[in-house]
């Protein structure tokens, strides 16, 4: 599966697994709902809407033209200080995975997004950051009807995707041969 096929399959999925790394270097995995945004949200620097992702973030032609957002929502949590947020603050490199399992193993596939995450608080003093938070919630509301009744009130995790990858058990059908010239 090429990067574009992986991106398409990934963004059509309803749930992903978010992998972070804790401060001790141990991986942590949690299921998340998410929404994608595309190149229309980019400002030309490689950072969505002008929000930089740190000195190692790719810029310009090297930047991935897509991102993902997820939010801390109203579903019950054991604590208000979520480990995934602390992990992202310490190490912003993240990976998200979606997959499809089938008893017919010819139908198996997975798609992965590797990126750099940024926590976007709902109460940031900068109006541009608050606007970014609102835009992320609008994307999530559009994808998930559950958010139409109660939008998440917590921070948003905004992920600049640097790499899409994937695998499928069977190759895509071959393109039909080109006919004779006109």
Please report whether residue 32 resides in a domain. yes
Number of domains in the chain: 1
Contact between 3 and 163 (Cβ < 8 Å): yes
- Looking at residue 51, which CATH number applies to its domain? 2.30.110.10
Other Cβ atoms within 10 Å of 169 Cβ, number: 13
pLDDT along the chain (182 residues), means of 10: 91 96 94 86 42 43 69 64 90 96 94 95 91 92 92 91 94 73 62
Whether 181 is covered by a domain: the verdict is no
Strands (E) in the chain, as ranges, are 16-21, 27-32, 35-37, 67-71, 93-100, 109-120, 156-168
Q: Quick check: is 175 in a domain?
A: no
CA 18 – CA 44 distance, rounded (Å): 27
Would residue 67 count as lying in a domain? yes
pLDDT of residue 182: 57
In a domain, 180, yes or no: no
Question: Residue 82: its pLDDT value, please?
Answer: 83
Strand partners, 110: 99, 167
Residue 179 lies in a domain: no
Residue 119 lies in a domain: yes
Containing structural domain, residue 15: 3-168
Residue 160 domain flag: yes
Res 47: pLDDT: 44
């Amino acid at each position: 599966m090429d990067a574009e096929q992986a991106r398409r399959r990934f963004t059509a999925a309803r749930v992903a697994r978010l992998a972070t790394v804790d401060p001790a270097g141990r991986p942590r995995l949690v299921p998340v709902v998410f929404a994608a945004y595309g190149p229309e949200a980019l400002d030309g620097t490689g950072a969505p809407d002008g929000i930089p992702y740190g000195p190692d973030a790719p810029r310009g032609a090297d930047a991935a033209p897509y991102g993902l957002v997820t939010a801390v929502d109203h579903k019950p949590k054991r604590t208000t200080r979520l480990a995934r947020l602390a992990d992202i603050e310490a190490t912003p490199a993240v990976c998200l995975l979606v997959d499809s399992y089938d008893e017919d193993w010819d139908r198996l596939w997975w798609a992965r997004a590797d990126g750099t995450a940024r926590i976007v608080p709902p109460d940031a003093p900068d109006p541009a950051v608050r606007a970014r938070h609102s835009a992320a919630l609008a994307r999530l509301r559009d994808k998930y009807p559950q958010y139409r009744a109660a939008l998440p009130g917590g921070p948003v995790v905004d992920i600049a995707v640097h790499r899409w990858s994937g695998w499928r058990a069977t190759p895509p059908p071959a393109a039909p041969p080109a006919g004779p010239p006109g």
